[in-house]
Amino acid sequence: MMTMTLRIALILVSVGTLLLMMRRIRQSKMQIESAVFWIVLALVLVVFSLFPAVADLAAHCLGIYSTANFLFLFAIFVLIVKVFYMTIHISQLETKIRELVQQMALDEKKRQEEKAYFEKLLAGDPGSGGTDEG
């Protein structure tokens, strides 16, 4: 069974997380897509704390002796999944950054070559491939 202290702690942490996420979204410091995970997690913790029978049943079904141990295991599992998805997202962003840097380098080289070509053309260099040749 879940103790009253644990229930109160879960409620406070869950409500605090919800308030923090809503504040961050309002201040445009966090994208809604990113905040949804934390809001859902906080709501699940609120359900577990308001209805401890749900957590007790889940712990019993998984063969976990203590509901508190189930809650810790649940939190660890959820955070590991979150880290996994963040790792995938970071990897995708690193690939995009690398491609953008490469594209910028190619654009800069092209710009320098065009600048050099037009400088030769304006200087009237006959070897530049300009219109001076017959």
| Model pLDDT, residue 99 | 97
Asked if residue 95 belongs to a domain, the reply is: yes
Asked if residue 99 belongs to a domain, the reply is: yes
Asked if residue 96 belongs to a domain, the reply is: yes
Range of the domain at 117: 4-124
> What confidence category does residue 83 fall into, taking pLDDT thresholds of 50, 70 and 90?
very high
Neighbours of 67 (CB within 10 A): 22
Asked if residue 133 belongs to a domain, the reply is: no
Of residues 89, 35, 51, 45, the one with CA closest to residue 71: 45
The residue written with tokens 């053309």 in the block is 121
**pLDDT tops 50 at residue 90:** yes
Contact residues for 71 (Cβ-Cβ < 8 A; gap 6+): 2, 6, 10, 48, 55
Give the Cα separation of 107 and 73 in Å (integer): 51
Asked if residue 131 belongs to a domain, the reply is: no
The residue written with tokens 């979150």 in the block is 82
Domains in the chain, number: 1
pLDDT, greater one: 18 or 64: 64
> What confidence category does residue 14 fall into, taking pLDDT thresholds of 50, 70 and 90?
confident
**102-113 pLDDT, tens digit each:** 999 999 999 999
pTM for this prediction: 0.66
Asked if residue 134 belongs to a domain, the reply is: no
